[in-house]
Chain A
Amino acid sequence: MSAAQLELRGVTKRFGGVAAVDGVNFAVEKGEIVGIIGPNGAGKTTLLNCISGVYRLDGGDIRWQGASIAGMAPHRVASLGIGRTFQIVRPFGSMTVRENAAIGALFGNADGRRGVREAFALADEVLELVGLRAKASHPVSSLTIPDRKRLEVARAVATRPQLLLLDEVMAGLNNVEIDEALDMVRAVHATGVTVLLIEHVMRVIVGVCRRAVVLDFGQVLAEGEPEVVLRDERVIKAYLGERYAKRLQS
């Protein structure tokens, strides 16, 4: 069996006496799109923060392409090829869309130093990919919510990641806007990027994920193909609710 691109082994993170993430094991293969779902407070974002180096682990190990990255600072993790977005987007409000994307290209540096001109060239490439090319010169303050989400993805993609961690980039979008955003995720994925995403919107999980991992109380409750996981009685009880399960069947 070949080594997974990303492997979580007993990952544990405590806040005070509470284990927000409690012995999580799972692996992501190169080229997959994997979804993480679970109730509010289940530890999903905490887990992403562990992977991207924002939090230090209290137990377990995280292995990236076979080597441990546990305890590494976020900028080191980013430079190894793990990019991420944040739930609350914080673009540089006084800059243009293009300048914001270029910042990701300048400071992400997964493949060595990059000059300003090169960073802008990469920014243009990435904006094309996420569908923001036409708005490159717009101030970010003029962007709608879906476009702000696109820019958040663009900033992360501009760091040239091999693995992209997306934290609820489709929250606040309606079904049609979600379908458009899914096309963007597929386009990024098609360039060879592995994707690990958190979402509460099942249209996303069923739409692009090959596998879903369900977290509950910091632990893996279920894992597998979305269609199977979403019919799992434990997942319905802890997360989806009976009404959703009925809607899914009809």
Chain B
Amino acid sequence: MQSGSSPEPLLKVHGLDAGFDAGPVLFGIDLEIAAGELIALVGANGAGKSTLLGVLSGLVRATSGTVTLSGEDVTNARPEALVRQGVAHVPQGRRLFGTMSVEKNLLLGAFLRRDKDVRADLTRVLDHFPALKDKLAREAGTLSGGEQQMVAIGRGMMARPKLLMVDELSLGLAPKVVDRLIDVMRDINQEGMALLLVEQDVLVALDAANRAYVLENGRVALSGFAAEVKDDPGVRKAYLGL
């Protein structure tokens, strides 16, 4: 429990239970993210990582416990309210609108915004992903997997979130593309946006993150500085296969 030195973390999850009709998935989750942190969330398939992201973006109901954003209770707030409060979710498998243009997909991320900076933010996103600059008019579904992931991340950034949650950044992507995306994640983080990375490529996530949480069967099994988590014998055996 290394965080929490500042009075109010950006995100605080306390004693969270959640699940579906088929049964509970998360049990007593405690998690904190300070402004500007880069956090890795790792664990086996079925451990509850995506369900936790679902709760944090208002798609899955919490049955117990609380979620607070900068001290304000947002437990079971609606998805659009959470986006307005600064939480954006880049879903697993990208979920782009394949027959819409890249530009429209990106602008959809700013759907709730009424400020005048949307165009400027689009430019900023394209500076992070220059490969998309000459593809704005293309149908998103015709892009390569790596470019589609850039659009999905860019769409999340367009909401101008305080916390960007990225589910399975590396899924189906070439090693070189993963490295490039991780570099962009670091850059975005340096600019002050907190990031929560859910990754199956545990090594990639732990190398990029400040701190990490390990989920096992719906519970936080381990948390700490990423370097410590990486050296944990249990983690090395169960996730890194070393």
Contacts and interface: CB of A to CB of B under 8 A. Distances in A.
Interface string A163-199: 0000010011111111100000000000000000000
B179 interface: yes
A3 B144 CA distance: 35
Interface centre among A173, A200, A240 (most CB of B within 10 A): A200
B140 to A, nearest CB: 14
Contact of B172 (A142, A168, A239): A168
A64 B168 CA distance: 37
B15 interface: no
A243 interface: yes
Contacts of B114: none
Given A146-B45, A168-B172, A177-B45, A40 B239 contact: no
Contacts of B144: 39-41
Contacts of B44: 174, 176-177
A240 B45 contact: no
Given A39-B177, A40-B145, A175-B202, A145 B45 contact: yes
A174 B179 contact: no
Nearest to A245: B175
A202 B241 contact: no
Contact of B175 (A175, A177, A178, A241): A241
A175 B241 contact: yes
A244 interface: yes
A197 B172 CA distance: 14
Residue from A87, A179, A240, A241 having most chain B Cβ neighbours under 10 A:
A241
A146 B47 CA distance: 12
Interface string B143-176: 0111100000000000000000000100111111
B212 to A, nearest CB: 14
Counting chain A CB atoms within 10 Å of each CB, the highest count among B147, B168, B174, B175 belongs to B175
Given A144-B45, A239-B176, A172 B171 contact: yes
A38 interface: yes
Contacts of A244: 175-176, 179
Contact of A200 (B46, B147, B174, B179): B174
Interface string B18-49: 00001000000000000000000010111000
B112 interface: no
Contacts of A172: 45, 92, 168, 171-172, 200
B175 A87 contact: no
Nearest to B201: A174
A123 B203 CA distance: 37
B202 A239 contact: no
B179 A243 contact: yes
Contact of A39 (B92, B171, B176): B176
B175 to A, nearest CB: 4
B200 A239 contact: no
Interface of B: 22, 42, 44-46, 92, 144-147, 168, 171-177, 179-180, 200-203, 237-241
26 contacts: A39-B146, A39-B174, A39-B176, A39-B177, A87-B172, A142-B22, A144-B46, A146-B45, A172-B45, A172-B172, A174-B202, A175-B202, A175-B203, A175-B239, A175-B240, A176-B44, A176-B237, A176-B239, A200-B172, A238-B176, A239-B176, A240-B175, A240-B176, A241-B175, A244-B175, A244-B179
